[in-house]
Chains A and B, each alone.
Chain A
Amino acid sequence: MYSNGGHIIDTLKKRWINLVLLSYLLSSLASAILITGLLHFLWPVSLWYVLLLWVVFSLLILLFSKAWKIKETDIVIYLNKTFPQLEDSCDLLLKSPDNLSLLERLQAGKTESILQHIAPAYPLRKRNTSAFIFLLMACALFSVVLIAKPSGNSTTIKQRIKSGSSRAEKILPAISSAEITIFPPAYTGKHQRLQQQFNLLVEEGADVSWQIKTNTYFSKLELVLNDSMMVNMTAANKDHTLWKVNKRITSPGFYQVKAGETASELYRLDVIKDALPAIAIEKPLPYTTIDFGMPQKVNLLAHATDDYGIKEVSIYATVASGSGEAVKFKEQKMSFPVSFTANSTAYSLNRLIDLKAMDMQPGNELYFYLQATDTHNQQARSDMYIVVLPDTAELMNADVVMNGINLKPEYFRSQRQIIIETEQLLKDKGAITIEGFNKKSNELASDQKLLRLRYGKFLGEESETSIGDARFDKDEHHSDEKEHDAADAKDFGNAEKVMDAYEHKHDNAEDATFFDPETKKQLKATLDEMWKAELQLRLYKPSEALPFEYKALRLLKDLQQKTRAYVGKTSVALTPLKPEKRLTGELDKIINPATEYTQPNVDVARSLPYAIAILENLKDDHFLLTNISTAILREAAGEISSKAASEPSKYLGALQAVRRILNTVALAGKITTEDILVCQQALQSMLAEINRLPSRQASLDGFNLSKQYFMNLKKAGKNSNDQ
Chain B
Amino acid sequence: MINNTLIIIIAVSLLLFLLLKEIRRLNKARLYLRLLCSVIAVASLACIALPITMLSNKNSIGQKQMLLLTEGYNKDSVDVFQKNKNIQVYQADSLLTADGDSLYVFGYGLSKYKWQQLKPAGIDFHPSPLSAGITSVHWDQDLQTGHVLKVQGSFNNTSADTVTLLLSAYNMHLDSVSIQPGVKQNFQLQAIPKHLGQAVYSLIAKFQGKLIAEPLPVNVSEQAKLNVLMLAASPDFENKFLSRWLSQNGCTVVLRTAVSKGKYAESFLDTSKFKIDHIDPALLNRFDLMVADASVLTALSNSELESIKKQVADKGFGLVIKADTSLIAKRFYNESFDLSALPNSRITHNMLIRGIDKPVRFTEEQAAYIKSKDDLQPLVTNESGNLFIAAALYGSGKILMSTLSQTYTLALAGQQSYYQSLWSSVLEEAALQKNIAEHWSIKPFIPRVDEPVGLFVQTNATIPIVTIENSKIAFLQNKNLAYEWNGTYWPRTDGWQHLVSSNDSLYWYTFKETDWKNIALQQRTSETYAYAKSIKDHSLDKSETPNKKPFPKIIFFFTLLAACTFLWIERKL
**A residues at B contact (CB < 8 Å):** 583, 587, 590, 592-599, 606, 609-610, 612-614, 616-617, 619-620, 677, 680-681, 683-685, 687, 689-705, 707, 710
Contacts and interface: CB of A to CB of B under 8 A. Distances in A.
A603 to B, nearest CB: 11
B194 A690 contact: yes
Contacts of B197: 609-610, 612-614, 616-617
A599 B248 contact: yes
B469 to A, nearest CB: 10
B81 to A, nearest CB: 42
Interface in B8-57: none
A587 B268 contact: no
A587 B261 contact: yes
10 contacts: A587-B263, A597-B269, A598-B270, A680-B170, A685-B172, A692-B148, A697-B433, A697-B434, A700-B437, A704-B458
A606 to B, nearest CB: 8
Contact of B483 (A610, A685, A690, A703): A703
Contact of B433 (A606, A609, A616, A699): A699
A583 B262 CA distance: 11
B559 to A, nearest CB: 66
Interface in B207-261: 220, 223-226, 246-251, 259-261
B355 interface: yes
A581 to B, nearest CB: 14
Nearest to B439: A700
A593 to B, nearest CB: 5
B261 A696 contact: no
Nearest to A691: B420
A596 B265 CA distance: 11
A617 B496 contact: yes
Given A693-B420, A694-B424, A696-B434, A684 B172 contact: yes
Interface residues of B, number: 74
Contacts of A598: 269-270
A534 to B, nearest CB: 47
B253 to A, nearest CB: 9
Contact of A616 (B198, B260, B265): B198
A214 to B, nearest CB: 39
Contacts of A613: 195-199, 220
Contacts of A681: 170-172
A1 B251 CA distance: 118
Interface string B74-114: 00000000000000000000000000000000000000000
Contacts of B199: 612-613, 616, 680
A220 B249 CA distance: 51
Contacts of A677: 170-171
A609 B196 contact: yes
B417 A692 contact: yes
Contact of B226 (A597, A696, A707): A696
B431 A691 contact: no
Contacts of A694: 226, 246, 251, 423-428, 431
A698 B434 contact: yes
Given A681-B171, A701-B460, A710 B396 contact: yes
Nearest to B266: A594
A571 to B, nearest CB: 29
Contacts of B436: 698-701
Nearest to B146: A693
Contact of A592 (B263, B437, B496): B263
B421 interface: yes
Nearest to B431: A696
Contacts of B421: 692
B264 interface: yes
B288 A696 contact: yes
B481 interface: yes
A690 B424 CA distance: 13
Contacts of B144: 695
B273 A596 contact: yes
A362 B127 CA distance: 93
Interface string B182-196: 000000000011111
Contacts of A707: 396
A319 to B, nearest CB: 39
Contacts of B263: 587, 590, 592
B247 A597 contact: yes
Nearest to A701: B435
Nearest to A611: B195
B454 interface: no
By Cβ-Cβ distance, the 8 closest A-B pairs, closest first, are: A613-B197, A695-B223, A612-B195, A702-B460, A609-B196, A694-B427, A680-B170, A699-B433
Contact of A700 (B261, B277, B458): B458
Nearest to B356: A692
A697 B431 contact: yes
Most buried by A among B148, B277, B439: B439
B192 A690 contact: yes
A595 B496 contact: no
A587 B261 CA distance: 8
Given A606-B196, A694-B423, A696-B224, 17 more contacts: A592-B263, A596-B268, A596-B272, A599-B250, A612-B195, A616-B195, A616-B198, A616-B200, A684-B170, A692-B355, A692-B417, A696-B223, A700-B483, A703-B483, A704-B483, A705-B483, A710-B396
Contacts of A697: 428, 431, 433-434
B434 A699 contact: yes
B370 interface: no
B565 to A, nearest CB: 76
A466 B200 CA distance: 82
Contacts of B417: 691-692
B225 A695 contact: yes
Contacts of A700: 435-439, 458-460, 483
A610 B196 contact: yes
A58 B226 CA distance: 85
A617 B433 contact: no
B506 interface: no
Given A680-B170, A702-B460, A696 B194 contact: no
B496 A620 contact: yes
Contact of B264 (A592, A599, A687, A699): A592
B204 interface: no
A700 B425 CA distance: 21
A685 B193 CA distance: 12
Contacts of A704: 458, 483
Given A587-B262, A690-B146, A597 B483 contact: no
Contacts of B416: 691
Q: Which of B199, B269, B425 has the most CB of A within 10 A?
A: B199
A693 B434 CA distance: 16
B449 interface: no
Contacts of B426: 694
Nearest to A583: B261
Nearest to A705: B481
B504 to A, nearest CB: 11
A683 to B, nearest CB: 8
B439 A592 contact: no
B270 A692 contact: no
Contacts of A695: 144-146, 223-226, 428
Nearest to B437: A701
Contacts of A590: 260, 263
Interface string B433-457: 1111111000000000000000000
Most chain B CB within a 10 A radius of its CB, from A590, A597, A620, A693? A693
A595 B273 CA distance: 8
B495 interface: yes
Contacts of B266: 592-595
B432 interface: yes
A387 B419 CA distance: 44
B147 interface: yes
User: Which of A616, A619, A705, A707 counts the most chain B CB atoms within 10 A?
Assistant: A616
Contacts of B195: 609-610, 612-613, 616, 683-684, 687
Contacts of A702: 460, 483
